[in-house]
Amino acid sequence: MALIEKALVGPAPTVDNVAHGGRLYDKWWTEAGAAEPKGDMPMWALQKTNTRKGLDTWRCKECHGWDYKGKGGAYGKGSHFTGFPGVLEAAATRSRAELVQILKGGADFRHDFSKAIDEEHLGHMADFLKRGLVNLSPYIDYAANKPISANVEHGKVKYVATCVPCHGDDGKKINFGSPTEPEYVGSVAAENSWEFLHKVRAGQPAAAMPSGMVNGWSIQDMVDVLGYARTLPEK
Beta partners for 45?
A: none
State how far the Cα of 65 lies from the Cα of 75, in Å rounded to an integer. Answer: 6
| Domain boundaries of the chain, sorted by first residue | 12-132, 140-229
Q: Are 54 and 93 in contact (CB under 8 A)?
A: no
Contact 171, 228 (CB under 8 A): no
Q: How far apart are CA 82 and CA 98, in angstroms?
A: 24
* Per-residue model confidence (pLDDT) at position 226: 98
Tell which CATH classification among 1.40.20.10, 1.10.150.20, 1.10.760.10, 3.30.360.10 matches the domain 140-229.
1.10.760.10
CA distances from 160 to 53, 112, 157, 218 (A): 38, 42, 5, 17
Q: Is 134 helix (H, G, I), strand (E, B) or coil?
A: coil
What pLDDT score does 10 carry?
Answer: 53
What pLDDT was estimated at residue 3? 37
- The answer to whether residues 223 and 139 touch, using CB atoms and an 8 Å cutoff, is yes
Output the pLDDT for position 6: 38
Whole-structure pTM value: 0.93
Phi, psi (degrees; rounded to nearest 5) at 146 = -150, 160
* Tens-binned pLDDT, residue by residue, of the chain (235 aa): 333 333 334 567 899 999 999 999 999 999 999 999 999 999 999 999 999 999 999 999 999 999 999 999 999 999 999 999 999 999 999 999 999 999 999 999 999 999 999 999 999 999 999 999 999 999 999 999 999 999 999 999 999 999 999 999 999 999 999 999 999 999 999 999 999 999 999 999 999 999 999 999 999 999 999 999 999 999 9
Specify the DSSP element, H or E, that contains 96.
helix 96-103
pLDDT at residue 117, as a whole number: 96
Rounded Cα distance between 51 and 154, Å, is 40
CA distance 222 to 227: 9
d(CA 225, CA 199): 12
Q: Measured between alpha carbons, how far is 63 from 6 in angstroms, rounded to an integer? A: 33
- CB 28 within 8 Å of CB 125: yes
